[in-house]
């Protein structure tokens, strides 16, 4: 038994995520976590909401709520949706937790002690009316490039030019509307990533088994231009982790908080502690996952994320960990994803384009989405969601292949032999051939799942379902019943057992349908198949079952057209 630590990139708090976000980290991480649990490993699967930073403050202001209240509410919303998608986190934490405050301050203190923090005096816009320094997004004005009158301090939304607040013509505070802005000096902390560049470079070089997508992005950041740059880790904001050196005050940094990118990955660790604290366990319970000096030497740590998060996870977070000089667990494997596009364009949170996680669950159960998204995961390149592909995938794989098999077998048995596994008949060469085929396919499926090859895993699982249908078509128990009922009984006995096997193998992809299949087979035996022939004898002759309700309804053209229209434009 291995100990498997899995983290999914943590979703930002300011809104409900779309399906592209889901398939880029949380969903494949869940697939892997479920599979590892099925195989009997001890799993710690962590995710959280990323709650600090300017966008959270602005979203809260827009909602007319204090930022803490806004974050608490949005966390609950995201947690409920995650449950709806059956994301099996051991903890879905919050980066604003007291545990993360302490850990973030601890890391900053260690980095400072080891000389990896530089204090930098910067010029920044100050608003005497607001009594504070204004972050980029709190300043708007006229774009010097295109003349748009509501350009933000970091970027013009009209012409997309990247800006500095001091570039803006007639700048004003979005907080108060004040125009008496002035430039003042303020001190910030920078993480000396450049000083850790060679160490990080050698570490990335040692990761021969990482996906090219992961290592190529890391290498680009390490070497392009002037190479890896130092990075600011503090902000002039109210909402965040107050800047402290461990537990000590940090002179000159009063009233400042850590930059959200610095505290967000530390939340992986903090969320584990949130869990064990909530369980009333002592510190050894979370440290055995995260500290090499407290039992984490044999932990295998896997991270899942979209490609936009790779630089932080290959460089910035490891710089934090390495720079601390303490024996923290570093990631062993980073699985990164390209983007899922939507119907000829991009998903867009700001424009409400595409399907959002809450909307998806209002239309169809989680398994439909899980199956399609995972079987079309954007692994080697970007992939595209179209309603036609979604309809075709669901109808063919789930309804015609898997659902139809379960329905035909159980209904046939009920009508000819009653609702129990038939006793008569022996297996023949046809069953032997099926078992040999399934054995090879199950072993290939295991290999792909262990390697986090999501699409290949889905293809293999589909092939396992198809093999059952083809077998049924060939041996035709409905014909055999007329001339040789014992033969029909043997075929049915094997096919009912195959339903149980399908439930076990399919659980990581479609957990609800899997549970329904087990319930219909009146068994709780969900043991992973070692020997396939043995697994196909798990339900003995005479074992009762029931015909389940339709596992997967087909998506009608009419519904597809309605949804296509509904999700083409702006979210209401
Ligand atoms: Zn502009």
Q: By C-alpha distance, which of 333, 334, 394 is closest to 363?
A: 394
CA distance 160 to 151: 9
Tokens of 427: 């297996």
Contact 218, 314 (CB under 8 A): yes
What's the CA-to-centroid distance between 182 and ligand 1, angstroms?
Answer: 22
Per residue, the 3-state secondary structure of 356-411, as one string, reads EHHHHHHHCCHHHHHHHHHHCCCCCCCEEECHHHHHHHHHHHHHHHHHHHHHHHHH
Report, as an integer, the average pLDDT of 185-196. 95
Per cent of the chain over pLDDT 90 is 87
Quick one: DSSP state of residue 418? -
pLDDT of residue 571: 52
| Distance between Cα 465 and ligand 1 center (Å) | 54
Ligand 1 centroid to 155 CA: how many Å?
A: 8
Question: Cα of 188 to ligand 1 centre, how many Å?
Answer: 29
- How much distance in Å is there from the Cα of 152 to the middle of ligand 1? 9
- State the distance from the centre of ligand 1 to the C-alpha of 352, rounded, in angstroms: 22
- The Å distance, Cα 148 to ligand 1 centre, comes to 5
DSSP, res 426: -
CA of 187 to the centre of ligand 1 (A): 29
pLDDT of residue 509: 98
**65-115, pLDDT tens digit by residue?**
999 999 999 999 999 999 999 999 999 999 999 999 999 999 999 999 999
Quick one: average pLDDT of 519-532?
97
- Asked whether the predicted pLDDT for residue 572 surpasses 50, the reply is no
165 CA distance to ligand 1 centroid (A)?
Answer: 13
pLDDT at 352 (0 to 100): 73
172 alpha carbon – ligand 1 mean position (Å): 16
DSSP symbol at 146: T
Give the distance (Å) from ligand 1 centre to CA of residue 197: 36
- Rounded to whole angstroms, how far apart are CA atoms 31 and 337? 14
The rounded Å distance from CA 28 to ligand 1 centre is 38
Predicted pLDDT at 568: 78
Over residues 496-516, the mean pLDDT reads 98
Q: How confident is the model at residue 31 (pLDDT cuts 50, 70, 90)?
A: very high
DSSP letter assigned to residue 162: B
Instruction: Please say if the pLDDT value at position 361 is more than 80.
Output: yes
**pLDDT at residue 350 tops 80:** no
Condensed to tens digits (0 to 9), the pLDDT of residues 13-23 reads 998 999 999 99
Question: What rounded mean pLDDT belongs to the chain?
Answer: 95
Contact (Cβ atoms closer than 8 angstroms) between residue 378 and residue 387: no
pTM, two decimals, is: 0.94
User: What per-residue confidence (pLDDT) applies to 397?
Assistant: 98
User: How does residue 531 score in pLDDT terms, banded at 50, 70 and 90?
Assistant: very high
pLDDT at 175: 84
Q: How confident is the model at residue 196 (pLDDT cuts 50, 70, 90)?
A: very high
| CB distance 507 to 88 below 8 Å | no
| Digit-coded pLDDT (tens) for 151-165 | 998 888 888 888 888
Q: What pLDDT score does 546 carry? A: 98
Backbone angles phi, psi at 137, to 5 degrees: -80, -5
Q: What is the mean pLDDT of residues 414-437?
A: 96
Distance, CA 348 to ligand 1 centroid (Å)?
A: 20
pLDDT at 563 over 60: yes
Query: How many A from CA of 139 to the centre of ligand 1?
Result: 14
Ligand 1 center from residue 391 Cα (angstroms): 41
Q: What residues contact 464, with CB distance under 8 A and at least 6 apart?
A: 438, 441, 442, 445, 502, 505
Does residue 333 surpass a pLDDT of 70? yes
**Which residues in 457-482 are b (16+ Cβ under 10 Å) and which e?**
bbebbbbbbbbbeebbeebebeebbe
**pLDDT tens sequence across 131-149:** 888 888 889 999 999 999 9
């Amino acid at each position: 038994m291995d100990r498997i630590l899995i983290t999914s990139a943590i979703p930002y708090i300011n809104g409900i995520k779309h399906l592209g976000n889901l398939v880029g980290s949380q969903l494949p991480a869940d697939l892997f976590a479920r599979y590892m649990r099925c195989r009997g490993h001890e799993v710690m699967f962590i995710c959280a909401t990323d709650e600090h930073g300017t966008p959270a403050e602005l979203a809260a202001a827009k909602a007319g709520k204090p930022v803490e209240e806004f974050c608490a509410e949005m966390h609950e919303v995201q947690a409920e949706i995650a449950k709806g998608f059956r994301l099996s986190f051991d903890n879905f934490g919050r980066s604003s937790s007291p545990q993360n405050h302490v850990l973030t301050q601890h890391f900053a203190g260690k980095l400072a002690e080891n000389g990896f923090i530089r204090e930098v005096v910067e010029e920044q816009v100050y608003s005497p009316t607001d009594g504070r320094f204004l972050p980029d997004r709190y300043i708007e004005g006229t774009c010097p490039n295109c003349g748009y009158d509501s350009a933000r301090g970091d970027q013009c939304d009209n012409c997309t030019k990247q800006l500095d607040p001091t570039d803006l013509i007639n700048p004003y505070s979005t907080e108060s509307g004040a125009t008496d802005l002035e430039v003042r000096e303020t001190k910030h902390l920078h993480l000396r990533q450049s000083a850790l560049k060679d160490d990080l470079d050698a570490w990335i070089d040692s990761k021969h088994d990482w996906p090219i997508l992961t290592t190529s992005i890391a290498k680009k950041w390490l070497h392009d231009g002037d190479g890896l740059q130092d990075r600011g880790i503090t902000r002039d904001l109210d909402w965040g982790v107050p800047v402290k050196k461990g537990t000590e005050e940090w002179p000159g940094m009063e009233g400042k908080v850590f930059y959200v990118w610095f505290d967000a990955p530390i939340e992986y660790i903090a969320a584990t502690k949130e869990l064990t604290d909530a369980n009333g366990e002592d510190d050894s319970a979370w440290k055995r996952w995260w500290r090499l000096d407290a039992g984490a030497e044999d932990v295998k740590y896997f991270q899942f994320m979209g490609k936009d998060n790779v630089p932080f996870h290959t460089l910035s977070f490891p710089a934090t960990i390495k720079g601390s000089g303490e024996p923290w667990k570093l990631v062993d494997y980073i699985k990164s994803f390209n983007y899922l596009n939507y119907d000829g364009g991009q998903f867009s949170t700001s424009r409400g384009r595409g399907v959002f996680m809450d909307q998806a669950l209002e239309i169809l159960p989680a398994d439909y989405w899980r199956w399609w998204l995972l079987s079309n995961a954007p692994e080697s390149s970007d992939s595209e969601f179209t309603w036609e592909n979604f309809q075709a995938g669901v109808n063919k794989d789930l309804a015609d292949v898997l659902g139809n098999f379960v329905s035909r077998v159980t209904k046939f048995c009920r009508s000819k032999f009653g609702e129990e596994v038939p006793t008569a008949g022996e297996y023949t060469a046809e069953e032997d051939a099926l078992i040999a085929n399934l054995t090879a396919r199950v072993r290939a499926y295991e290999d792909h799942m262990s390697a986090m090859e999501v699409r290949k895993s889905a293809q293999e699982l589909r092939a396992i379902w198809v093999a059952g249908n083809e077998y049924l078509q060939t041996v035709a128990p409905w014909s055999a019943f007329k001339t040789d009922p014992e033969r029909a009984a043997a075929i049915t006995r094997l096919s009912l057992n195959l339903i149980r096997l399908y439930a076990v193998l399919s659980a990581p992809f479609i957990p609800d349908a899997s549970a329904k299949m087990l319930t219909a087979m009146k068994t709780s035996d969900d043991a992973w198949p070692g020997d396939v022939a043995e697994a196909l004898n798990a339900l003995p002759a005479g074992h009762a079952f029931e015909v389940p309700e339709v596992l997967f309804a087909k998506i009608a053209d009419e519904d597809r057209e309605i949804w296509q229209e509904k999700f083409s434009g702006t979210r209401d």
